[in-house]
A and B are shown apart, each in its own frame.
Chain A
Amino acid sequence: MIKLNNVSRSFIAEHIETVALDKLSLSVSHGEFISILGPSGCGKSSLLNILGMLDDIDEGSFVFNGTELSAASSITKAQLRKKHIGFIFQNFNLIDELTVEQNIALPLHYQQLNKAQRTARVEEVLHRLDIAHRRTHLPAKLSGGQQQRVAIARAIVTQPDLILADEPTGNLDSQNSTQVMEILRQLNMKGTTIVMVTHAQEQVQYGTRVIRLMDGKIQQDSLVSAQRTVNKQEVLSD
């Protein structure tokens, strides 16, 4: 599904260059649930942003579903993004001015679905995530757990192939965290590929694969189910 080859990304601020990703290579296959771990500043979010086509790479190659994106236009990326990818953020990133159902329906507007289709899809996810009773509320009126469920609903309403989750439970208590992780696991079991950045070691068990990053490079890439650790060269040689 995704193939990154020798991807680098650095940021220049105040004349100081910070390397976020350093010749990083990675493959993601359909149906995987990858947890990305690592200390702050190791490049986790940068990697996620590149996978989500929100950021450009400086060098290397990025192939998504067979399309090379290293020189793709912002329009192509926007097209791919809205068709294939759903985002879940640590701080939910709901639009404060829109109600729960309007927030969820927003990506469907970009897909230019008609009203009936939009309503059907929104209804479905509202019930699936048990937030139908909050549909007319503004985000500010919801608890953190509810807000994240709305964010997940918004991410899955387009039925994406890939969900990118950036510390989805970072702002939640343990009960809500568990609920969110269960939801993600169920989505994965139904076939959605998930790439999740997390700080919490215990959440690794929900996924199928763990990647540890350090200084913009993959330090460890292991499969969870087999409890087997392989180094990144082995993964690449698959």
Chain B
Amino acid sequence: MISLLLTMTWRNMWRSKRTAVIQLLSLVIGLTCFMLIQLYVSHQHNFNAHFKNAENIYRINLIRDDNRPQTLTPLRLAEELTSNFPEVTEVTRISVSTISISNASGVFAERALFVDENFFSFFDYTLIEGDVHTALQAPDKVVMHEAQALKYFSRSTQVIGERLNINGKPYQVSAVIRYSGAPSTIPNEIILPIQNYFQQLPNERWQTLWNFNATITFAKITQATAIPSLTANISDYYQQRVEGLSSYKRYRVMFEPLLDVYLNATATRSLIPPGSQEMVNTFVLVSFMLLTLACINFTNLATAASLRRAREVGVKKALGASPSQLALHYLIESLFITLLALGAALALTALLLGAFNQLMGAQITLSLTFEHAFTLILTLLCVTLLAGGYPALFLSRMNAALVLKGVVDTGHGATLFRRILMVIQFIIATLLLIASTVVSQQMDHLSTMVQGYDRENVLIINRGATVYQDFKRQVSRYDDVISLSMSHTIPTKATRTSAIVRTHEAPGNEIWVGNNPVSYDYFRTMGIALLSGRVFTRQSPGDPYFEDEQNTANTRGNLIINATLAARLNADPNNVIGRYLTLGSVSEGLHRHQIIGVVEDTHHVDASQHVPPMVYILSEKPEDLALRWIAIRLKAGFNPDVLQQLEQTWLELDSSKAFKYEWLASLFDAQYHNQAQHLQLLKLFTLIAMVMSVTGLYAVASFTLLQSLKEIAIRQIMGAKNWQIYGLFQLRFGVLVLLATLIALPIAFILLTDWLNQYVYRIELPVSVFAVSSFACLALAGITVQMVAFNAVRSRPVETLKRD
């Protein structure tokens, strides 16, 4: 029987190719999108899942006052935890820094992870060679990934013992890690023993400071139930030790499960940019929407096609088939078609995965695990039931006596059902269209809104304090170099340090500010406009910030503030010049500083946060206040050769340090990289949804036309004009699309208002987008229906009636 059913299904599809193609293609596209998104979602949920002990590993984040948690912790925290808290079975640390690797072909900058010796007992990797137990035992050992071995030695085996010059010191390769595409929040960087990180610190004492946060601490805790009490105890312990050392008042820790650190990321300064649970959820929703669209196309076409299948139902009933038997048979038919579609969708998914990976910046692989197989079977059954359930029921319930007479009662119920499904399709399509347009406009707004600095033609180099002064002196002579400066932080990077300022008039009024120590020429280099006063100059001896550690009250130096701080001081930028602000803490001593300038606000992190009040202080020498970023502003339309000249000059000053730069504009774009990726995907899915809805409408309208041919012919004979026939059709479907639009608009309004609220800097929800999207859907539906109606009008009424 099954083979007979399959034969019938196949021949049926062959006979009504157009319907079959639309049904199949809809399912294939719907299933492909669904599978790609599910793979992506599964990939996003599986970060770190491949590490054997992942379930027992927690990242310890710090929370200071009401700020977002941060991943960086004091270097001494690990030791304190193992010594004082028996529930913590083991601890490991990861610090990150840029290193320079030199060999015969040049000097290369790499990001390196500086880790504890027990790193591999937390994060297990498969090694091509080497031993995890000894790989990090000596300070001069280096562990590299396959890609780095290939880069530096052109091979990934027999590399053990090879020497590498890192930051001017010799190291020996002790292990090579095999490449794995498994999603991980531990980036595939060069791994060095953490002692090397300590050596980079300005002072050995920093290792033991409670308020120097420079490492990510991971702890193994086997008893998850102990976490709440442990969190409270460690928080108290930490608070007692760090209180008074900085301007924060409340210090807590939190344990974040390793399996959650990617998607549920709330903490700043993670090793890799975190994912977005919200986006993942959105895409899950979109994937179900697309699958629903595909199922609706299938259902609508199948029930519409019942006109032709009715006789077959009658015959089968006459031959003894019961309704339930028939329903089962039609379900099997749907199963067969869904299986075909699923096969094609699988092939298409495999084909598109490369491009999808590129689009999403992921490394998803297609593997048939038990979980995947189970999901596939579940999808197959659900789609079969969703798409084929109603048609099966509808066909099997037909009255055999009537259909054998040629009377097919499509029934008001069936017609209404089809119309409801069509309305759902257009609700989804309209929703996606409005959403993708609004999201696109918001993203556009973020990238084009005034950022308070000029990101074009600015090169950024991480670190280089030791060579900065000489480098600046030399490259300032180049025609294409406008200016350069060094600073503690730069736009696109978080304001790392904070302080409390008070006014002389209201000392009790504490204002939290971001603090950015900068060198001369910072504002010019960054293109930050001066609103009033002046910038730091060499001619003003009072400008440099000098911290008197013996007598804090003697700390001096002038301040430049941003517009937000001026506003917080209730002052016009012009009136605030010359006023004094008090810095420091009551415990360590307060010191007063004069405001010499007000600059415009600059966005340091993405637009989900307000621009904080900021103070800028002058670090005369980069080492004074730990400046970390060199910025070089080049002339617009600079000669690209200048980059080579800059590198040459750099290497002449320090041949062991690679000249690695990034463009400020790229750093800015990188902030919105994930959103931009997601927007691309959303646009693509919107297009697919539109195409699917319109195709479905076309097919349903065609069937309606078939049923209405006689009516149209009679109307034509009675003298109906062509436009009246068009009007008839347009009205019939236009009302449905209009209804869909009317339902979609308030839903879109609520969802998008909620989405936009997460942005501090956002567009006003544009009414025009709602109007244009609704119009676009109506127009698209109108054109589709018009194409169908055109065929109706072309047919000769006499022929139609004769056929009937």
Chain A residues within CB distance 8 Å of chain B:
45-46, 49, 52, 54-55, 74-75, 78-79, 81-83, 87, 89, 93-98, 102, 105-107, 109-111, 154, 158
Tell me which residues across on chain B come within 8 A of A75, comparing CB atoms: 322-324
Contact B325 A49 (CB under 8 A): no
Contact A74 B15 (CB under 8 A): no
Contact B11 A97 (CB under 8 A): yes
Tell me which residues across on chain A come within 8 A of B314, comparing CB atoms: 54, 93
B400 at the interface (CB under 8 A from A): yes
Residue interface mask B1-38, A partner, CB < 8 A = 1? 10010011011100100000000000000000000000
**Size of chain B's interface in residues, with CB distance under 8 A?**
28
Contact A93 B7 (CB under 8 A): no
Tell me which residues across on chain A come within 8 A of B317, comparing CB atoms: 54, 78, 81
Chain B contact residues: helix, strand, loop or mixed: helix
Contact B311 A82 (CB under 8 A): no
Provide the bound-state CA to CA distance between A11 and B65, in Å: 80
B318 at the interface (CB under 8 A from A): yes
Which listed residue (B1, B312, B320, B400) contacts A95, Cβ 8 A? B312
Which listed residue (B1, B8, B319, B405) contacts A97, Cβ 8 A? B8
Contact A55 B400 (CB under 8 A): yes
Evaluate whether A78 and B322 lie within 8 angstroms (CB atoms) in the complex, with A97-B11, A98-B8 already known.
yes
Nearest Cβ in chain A — how far from B403, in angstroms? 9
Tell me which residues across on chain B come within 8 A of A105, comparing CB atoms: 4
List 4 A-B pairs, minimum CB-CB distance, nearest first: A82-B320, A97-B11, A49-B401, A55-B401
Tell me which residues across on chain A come within 8 A of B322, comparing CB atoms: 74-75, 78-79
Nearest Cβ in chain A — how far from B606, in angstroms? 59
Which listed residue (A96, A106, A158) contacts B316, Cβ 8 A? A106
Question: 16 A-B contacts, Cβ less than 8 Å apart?
Answer: A74-B322, A83-B320, A87-B318, A89-B404, A93-B318, A95-B312, A97-B8, A97-B10, A97-B12, A106-B4, A106-B319, A107-B319, A109-B4, A110-B320, A110-B321, A158-B320
Which listed residue (A54, A93, A110) contacts B325, Cβ 8 A? A110
Tell me which residues across on chain B come within 8 A of A111, comparing CB atoms: 320
Give the total number of A-B pairs whose CB atoms are below 8 A apart: 82
Which residue of the partner chain A has the closest CB to B317?
A54
Contact A74 B323 (CB under 8 A): yes
Provide the bound-state CA to CA distance between A52 and B312, in Å: 17
B315 at the interface (CB under 8 A from A): yes
Tell me which residues across on chain B come within 8 A of A96, comparing CB atoms: 11, 15
Tell me which residues across on chain A come within 8 A of B11, comparing CB atoms: 96-98
Nearest Cβ in chain A — how far from B59, in angstroms? 62
Tell me which residues across on chain B come within 8 A of A83, comparing CB atoms: 320
Provide the bound-state CA to CA distance between A54 and B321, in Å: 11
Contact A93 B311 (CB under 8 A): yes
Contact A46 B401 (CB under 8 A): yes
Nearest Cβ in chain A — how far from B395, in angstroms? 14
Tell me which residues across on chain B come within 8 A of A102, comparing CB atoms: 4, 7
Which listed residue (A45, A55, A110) contacts B319, Cβ 8 A? A110
Provide the bound-state CA to CA distance between A98 and B4, in Å: 8
B399 at the interface (CB under 8 A from A): yes
Tell me which residues across on chain A come within 8 A of B318, comparing CB atoms: 52, 54, 81, 87, 93
Nearest Cβ in chain A — how far from B86, in angstroms? 70
Which listed residue (A52, A78, A94, A154) contacts B321, Cβ 8 A? A78
Tell me which residues across on chain B come within 8 A of A87, comparing CB atoms: 318-319
Which residue of the partner chain A has the closest CB to B1?
A109
Residue interface mask B605-641, A partner, CB < 8 A = 1? 0000000000000000000000000000000000000
Contact A54 B400 (CB under 8 A): yes
Which residue of the partner chain B has the closest CB to A88?
B318
Provide the bound-state CA to CA distance between A233 and B11, in Å: 52
Determine which residue in A55, A93, A98, A111 has the highest number of CB atoms from chain B within 10 A of its CB, and name it.
Answer: A93
Provide the bound-state CA to CA distance between A79 and B321, in Å: 8
Provide the bound-state CA to CA distance between A79 and B320, in Å: 7
Contact B7 A97 (CB under 8 A): yes
